[in-house]
Amino acid sequence: MALWSREALKQGAVMVAPMLLGSVIRSGDVAVRLTEVEAYEGFRDPGSHAYRGPTPRTQIMFGQAGFAYVYFSYGMHHCLNVVCGRTGTASAVLLRGGEVIDGLEVARNRRNAGRSQGHPDRDLARGPARLASALGVDLHHKGVDLCDPASIVQLEMGSPSRSRRVETGPRVGVSGPGGDGTTYPWRFWLGGDPTVSTYRAAKSRLPRSRQEH
DNA sequence: CGTGCGATTATCT
DNA sequence: GATAATCGCACGC
């Protein structure tokens, strides 16, 4: 299966994100067909980690397209992004959900480890942290070239026949300095697909004792 | 089905 | 010291 070309990814996250639906992210034995993604930009996007400019963590987003940006979140989860756009701009697509199409046993073992109740198969990669977990991706995979056939993690083009309706909406859980209102409708998913995560608005961060007043 | 809450730590200010 | 691009579980309808 052919991999995504770096040139195509240079178009930028907002252009690339809907085109990634139906594509396949493969990490070792496990492969996931993408059904839900979100686009993030840099300075003009308050929801982006790169909004305030490059830091050691976000530097890779300002680099060449086609590399993996992985971040550690909420003290326990990992999320996987594909860096897009031209070098010098911060642009990335967050992989939010998909269907495990290869390595089902490995994915089940990873996701259900230490849990009394197993997840249904359609939940194995439903949500960004679940997807990374199913793939076995963590901070060690940050900076991997997804366009290199020698890499441990690769981004494959989907089969052209898989045409479904692409739907669009606000991104999930994005707060940012300006609040939810400043977010863009940059969440893309395949309508009706059971592996698309359920929408959750950004959690209110003020404790109850400080909300009154 | 939906809403609410706490876990747990890299990263930034 | 505060925050967070989440998840799983509890509980109510």
Segments making up each domain of chain A, as ranges: 6-197
Q: How many Å apart are A116 CA and C1 C1'?
A: 36
Distance CA A116, CA A98 (A): 24
pTM for this predicted structure: 0.94
Q: Please enumerate in sequence order all residues whose Cβ is within 8 A of that of A78, keeping only pairs 6 or more positions apart, or say none.
A: A70, A71, A72, A129, A132, A133, A137, A138, A139
CB-to-strand C contacts below 7 angstroms: A 38, 40, 47-50, 61, 69, 71, 73-77, 79, 81, 92, 94, 111, 115-117, 119, 123, 127-131, 171-176, 197, 200, 202-203, 205
A45 nearest nucleotide via C1' and CA: C5
Instruction: Collect the ranges in chain A with pLDDT lower than 50.
Output: 181, 207-213
Q: Match 């070239």 to its residue by tokens.
A: A145
Indicate if CB(A160) is under 7 A from strand B.
no
Q: Can you name the residues that pair with A188 across neighbouring β-strands?
A: A37, A168
Give the pLDDT score at A203.
77
- Which pLDDT score is estimated for A201? 85
Q: How far apart are CA A80 and CA A114, in angstroms?
A: 23
Range A6-197: architecture per CATH? Roll (3.10)
- Smallest CA–C1' separation from A96, nucleotide: C5
Q: What is the pLDDT of residue A164?
A: 77
In chain A, positions 40-59 with C-beta closer than 7 Å to nucleic chain B are 52, 55-58
Q: What distance in Å separates the CA atoms of residue A189 and residue A168, rounded to the nearest whole number?
A: 7
Nucleotide minimizing C1' to CA distance for residue A57: B11
Distance CA A13, CA A93 (A): 6
CA A155 to the chain's CA centroid: 12
pLDDT of res. A210: 44
Q: Mapping DSSP to helix (H, G, I), strand (E, B) and coil, where does residue A208 land?
A: helix
In A 80-139, which Cβ lie closer than 7 Å to strand B?
A: 139
